[in-house]
Amino acid sequence: MKSDFSTPAAPLRGLGGPLRSSEPVRAAPAPSAAVVLLEEAADLLVVHLDFRAALQTCERALPSLANLDAGTSLEVKCSLCIVGIQALAEMNRWREVLSWVLQYYQVPEKLPPKVLELCVLLYSKMQEPGAVLEVVSAWLQDPDNQDLPEYRALAELHLQRVLLPLGCLSEAEELVVGSAGFSEEQQLDILQAISKARQQQKHQRLGSEEAQKLNQEGSFSHKFLSLLMLLRRLWDSTVSHFFSLPFKKSLLAALILCLLVVRFDPVSSIGRRDCWASLRSSQTHLGENSPGIHESNPSWRKLPLLC
C-alpha cells in the first residue's frame, strides 16, 4: 500500500545535531525545582493575582538554588527576587523590599543590576529615595560593578532619582567626575544640572530664612496687639465699674479723698478751710436731697474731727 505522504519525514534533531535511526532519542533534562517554582510564582503573580502565594513560592524556591550551576543559579535567583519585589509592592509592603532582598544577597555590592534598578524606582516613586542611598552608593563604588554594561544606566538613575532629589549635590559631583562610565559631554550635562539644582537650593534657603523672619515679626506684632487689647479690656472694665457705682457714693468718695490729701498737706492751711467749706456745703446739699442720710450714715457727724 502506497504511503499518503509524498515527502519523507524530517530527521529528529537533538542537542548533537540530526539523529540517525540507529541512535537513541535523548530525553530533555527535567527542569529543576527552582525553575518550576519560578514559573509557578510568576503565574500566581500575573494570572491569579495571588501576591501572597507568589511571595511564599519565591521564598520556597530561593533555598533550592544550590542544585543549579552558577550561571543558571544567578539568573533564576534574580528572577525570583524580581517576582518577590513585585508581590511585596502589590501588597503595599514596599518598605520591606530592601531588607527582603538583602537577606538573600547579604551585601549590597552583590545585588544584580536589575534588582537594584527596581528598588531605586520603587522607593523613589514612594517618595523615600533616602532608603536606598547607602545601598546604591556602595554598589556604584565597587570596582567589579564599574565594569558592568549596566553601570552607567544605574549611575544616571541614582543621580536623577536619589542624589538630586535629596540635595546631595557634592556626592553627585564626585560620582560624575570620578566615574569612567560617563563621556565628557555627559559629564558636562550632568554638572550643569547639578549647578542649576544648587542655585535652586540656595534660593529656597534664602526664601525660607525670609519667611521665618517675617513669621517672627508677625508673631511679635501679634503679641503686642494682644497686650494692647488686654489693657483696653482692663481699662474698659475699670471705667465701667467706676460708673456703675451710685453717683452720691462716688461723689462722697472723691470728696473724702480730696480731704485726706489736704489734711496731710502741712503747708496749705487755707486749702483745708476751703476744702472743709466745700465738704460742708456738699453735706448740706446731699442732706437736703436725701433726708434719711443722717440717720443711716452717722459718720457724717464725725467729719469735723478730721480737721
**What does the pLDDT look like over 227-236, one tens digit per residue?**
788 888 887 7
**Residue 289 within a domain:** yes
Residues of the chain with pLDDT under 50: 1-25, 27-28, 290, 292-296, 299-307
Q: Express each pLDDT in 153-199 by its tens digit.
A: 999 999 999 999 998 888 888 888 877 677 788 888 888 888 888 88
Looking at residue 199, its pLDDT comes to 85
The amino acid that residue 204 corresponds to is: Q
**DSSP line for 62-80:** GGGGGGS-HHHHHHHHHHH
**Residue 226 within a domain:** no
Residues 197, 252: one domain? no
| 81 and 104 Cβ atoms separated by less than 8 Å | yes
Question: What are the DSSP E strand ranges found in 78-156?
Answer: none
**Angle at the Cα of 105 from the Cα atoms of 102 and 110, rounded to 5 degrees:** 110
**Residue 9 within a domain:** no
Residues 128, 196: one domain? yes
Looking at residue 278, its pLDDT comes to 61
Q: Which residues contact 45 (CB under 8 A, 6 or more apart)?
A: 51, 54, 83, 86, 87, 90
Residues 135, 37: one domain? yes
What is the span of the domain harbouring residue 75? 31-202
**Residue 19 within a domain:** no
Looking at residue 154, its pLDDT comes to 94
**Residue 20 within a domain:** no
Residue 120 CA to residue 133 CA, distance in Å, equals: 9
Length of the chain: 307
